[in-house]
Structure 1
Amino acid sequence: MSVLTIKDVTKIFPAGNVVAVDTFSLDVADGELVCLLGPSGSGKSTLLRMVGGFERPTGGLIQIDGEDITHLPPEKRPTGMVFQSHALWTHMNVFKNLAFGLKLRRLPPDEIKNKVDAVLELVGLGGYGNRHVSQLSGGQQQRVALARSLVLEPKILLLDEPFASLDQHLRERLREEVRDIQQRLGITTLFVTHGQDEALSMADRIVVMRNGRTEQIDRPDVVYREPKTPFVAGFIGTMNLIEGTVSNGVFEHGGFRVDMPVVDGPATLAVRPEALDIEAAEPGQARVHRVTDFGTHGLVDLDLSDGVRLKSMVSHPDLFKAGQGVTLKPRAVAAYRNDAQIYRS
């Protein structure tokens, strides 16, 4: 069993008295893959580096299987970290990169060879031991970086935006491979990314971070469909956010009205493009600005009378053209006030 516990961890950088992580708590279960997701500066990489021992917390507690590792150096922790930059030794071949840590543990040569060969097979690089790092593609180098962490058999695997420097198709393929490997090994994993697709496709749970704190912790489908704050609603996927006012049970922004049985006052309406149906009408509540055909679906950019831009996903983009008037028919909405959800349909 490998369980990671982070309790009230804080990191304050003395220069400028910057609070990078603010009383953050999280439990990662045995075999679980949890993704830290947030914009640049949200504290996710700093938090990961504190778990790995590369940053020292200002306060709080970090435990693995109940053992306090808060102040242990990286080499004393049962963690393996994969960096965005690969951090491979270019003067060594693949085998020597992987064997280095095992040699420090004074393992017999035969055992080292067996472990290195096995982990290279695991990451799809069987027979690459004698290749020099400079002879490998970016994707292969990232596999070697992953293998170098896995060969040490860590209790906790830490991934710090490992696919950020790769092209889209390679990134998609590698994240599928890494997820398959993680599930086969059952290794507890903490993964940092600012890519929503990576978080939604890989994670058992997503931790959305903002300003060093947690905005929401939930399964990917819950974070997408039931965002608890307007920040999460706007950050995960594409969301139409409309500022308006609720009066007598009706939300209104210009000519756009939605029934909403909540207390009168200002509100932010949130509706996904796939939940915003449109129909041609004159003069309509909005006008088509642009139609983009993606083959599998269309995306229609809409302008309200005051210039607010909305998006609607349609199955037949050929039915709409720029300048056309349309009516808006949201099928599912949420509303927020004072940074909290007040309504969901």
Structure 2
Amino acid sequence: MAQLTLKNLGKSFDGTDVIADLSLDVADGELVCLLGPSGSGKSTVLRMVGGFETPERGAILIDGEDVTEVPPEKRPTGMVFQSHALWSHMTVADNVAFGLKLRRLPKAEIRRKVTEALDLVGLGDFGNRRVWQLSGGQQQRVAIARALVLEPKILLLDEPFASLDQHLRERLREELRDIQRRLGITTLFVTHGQDEALALADRIVVLRGGEIEQAASPDRMYRAPETRFVAGFIGSMNFLACDMRGGRADHPLFPVAAVVPDGPVELAIRPEALTVSPGRSAGMSARVHRKTDYGTHLLLDIVLEDGARVKAMCPPSGAFEAGQEVRLTASQVALFRDEVKLAEVRTEAREVAHV
């Protein structure tokens, strides 16, 4: 379909930089999720691509053509908003047809395109209904159909499922992913939900303070975060402070070896990388504070002797109770200093990956 290129974008509001100097390439047919905390600039980036905000610096190119100064209605983009932005006094079909009527297409072609778009989102029999007669999920499908009926080169979605309940969100994002793959349309998707980004994206771009913290595939983003911020923002992560001395961490429970300079570090360990067994660790006592049974697994909240807390994921058959003393081992540990990853230690394979 199309390639999107953002070159050194900059945008400020009231003298404060919201986007500092952002560059990003989105490949033909790729679905990229912009992920970050509130105020990170992800929606501002999306609105600049759609033409609803104008960058003060930089350029936006679609298939090599500079569209930075092109108004929204003339850009080859389709935007889906969180609020749906549908007209309640119109029928579903009229909502979807609105942009086509502005283009003054023949009525027969408009009917055909509207029918195809509604079929695509599973609302083929809903064309004559009013928007207020639809559920929230159906309204969002109409908004997606209205964007797709214009056959945009780039599909833009600004947290489109944020107002829906969890089960409906999961179902709609699966449907959206199927539609996106079927059409092969280049897509930029803004979300604050980590699970949504991990489930949808070909690539995740984590924003922080208007800058790209890391851009990577979902599996790499989760398993190999490059900064301490990404490690703590994507999924659940345990952080334990200690010092490196002579190539070994001085933490009593996790004295991992790594070829890094002496000094303070943070050990980062995913809950699923911890193995819990009954008994006492040699270096420091650890006790179960709380057990939560999720059906597929147990999540243990464990208090260490020095007061630190860690979370560990265990099989649902694990026989652990609050107050029980346990022994901890870690299969994978990352070491961070000053926000930067220094090394990654896989204790089972006895190997250290330097960064």
Q: Same fold (TM over 0.5)?
A: yes
Alignment correspondent of 1:241: 239
Go from structure 1 to structure 2 and tell me whether the alpha carbon gap of 1:38 and 1:247 turns closer, same or farther (over 3 Å shift).
same
Alignment correspondent of 1:304: 304
Question: Distance between the aligned counterparts of 2:258 and 2:273, measured in 1?
Answer: 16
SS at match of 1:107: coil
Contact in 2 for aligned 1:207/1:218 (Cα 8 Å): yes
Alignment correspondent of 1:65: 63
- Output one character per residue of 1:120-140: Cα deviation in whole Å (capped at 9) or x when no partner: 000000021100000000000
Question: Distance between the aligned counterparts of 1:58 and 1:158, measured in 2?
Answer: 21
> How many residues were matched structurally?
343
Normalised by the size of structure 1, how large is the TM-score? 0.97
Letter in 2 for 1:307: G
Question: Distance between the aligned counterparts of 1:19 and 1:306, measured in 2?
Answer: 41
Alignment correspondent of 1:95: 93
Task: Report the alpha carbon displacement of residue 301 of structure 1 after superposing the two structures with TM.
Answer: 0.4
Task: Report the alpha carbon displacement of residue 243 of structure 1 after superposing the two structures with TM.
Answer: 1.7
Alignment correspondent of 2:320: 320
Contact in 2 for aligned 1:291/1:317 (Cα 8 Å): no
| Pairing of 1:166-181 with structure 2 (within 5 A) | 166-181=164-179
- Output one character per residue of 1:24-63: Cα deviation in whole Å (capped at 9) or x when no partner: 0100011000000111111000000000001111101100
Contact in 1 for aligned 2:296/2:316 (Cα 8 Å): no
Task: Report the alpha carbon displacement of residue 255 of structure 1 after superposing the two structures with TM.
Answer: 5.2
Alignment correspondent of 1:131: 129
Task: Report the alpha carbon displacement of residue 78 of structure 1 after superposing the two structures with TM.
Answer: 0.5
Given the alignment, which residue of 207, 213, 217 partners 2:205?
Answer: 207
Question: Distance between the aligned counterparts of 1:100 and 1:252, measured in 2?
Answer: 66
Question: Distance between the aligned counterparts of 2:70 and 2:40, measured in 1?
Answer: 25
Alignment correspondent of 2:350: none
Cα RMSD (Å): 1.2
User: Which is worse superposed, 199-208 or 316-325?
Assistant: 316-325
Task: Report the alpha carbon displacement of residue 317 of structure 1 after superposing the two structures with TM.
Answer: 5.4
| Pairing of 1:69-218 with structure 2 (within 5 A) | 69-218=67-216
Percent identity reads 64
- Output one character per residue of 1:55-95: Cα deviation in whole Å (capped at 9) or x when no partner: 11110110001110111110111000000000000111101
- Output one character per residue of 1:149-189: Cα deviation in whole Å (capped at 9) or x when no partner: 00000000000000000000000000000000000000000
Alignment correspondent of 2:8: 8
Contact in 2 for aligned 1:36/1:192 (Cα 8 Å): yes
Question: Distance between the aligned counterparts of 1:173 and 1:137, measured in 2?
Answer: 14
Alignment correspondent of 1:49: 47
Query: Structure 1: which 5+ runs fail to align?
Result: none
Contact in 2 for aligned 1:299/1:317 (Cα 8 Å): no
Letter in 1 for 2:260: V
SS at match of 1:262: coil
Letter in 2 for 1:217: A
Question: Distance between the aligned counterparts of 1:244 and 1:12, measured in 2?
Answer: 39
Normalised by the size of structure 2, how large is the TM-score? 0.94
- Output one character per residue of 1:228-265: Cα deviation in whole Å (capped at 9) or x when no partner: 00000000011111122111222134655333332111
Letter in 1 for 2:333: V
Contact in 2 for aligned 1:81/1:157 (Cα 8 Å): yes
Contact in 2 for aligned 1:285/1:328 (Cα 8 Å): no
Question: Does 2:314 correspond to 1:333?
Answer: no
Question: Distance between the aligned counterparts of 2:106 and 2:233, measured in 1?
Answer: 50
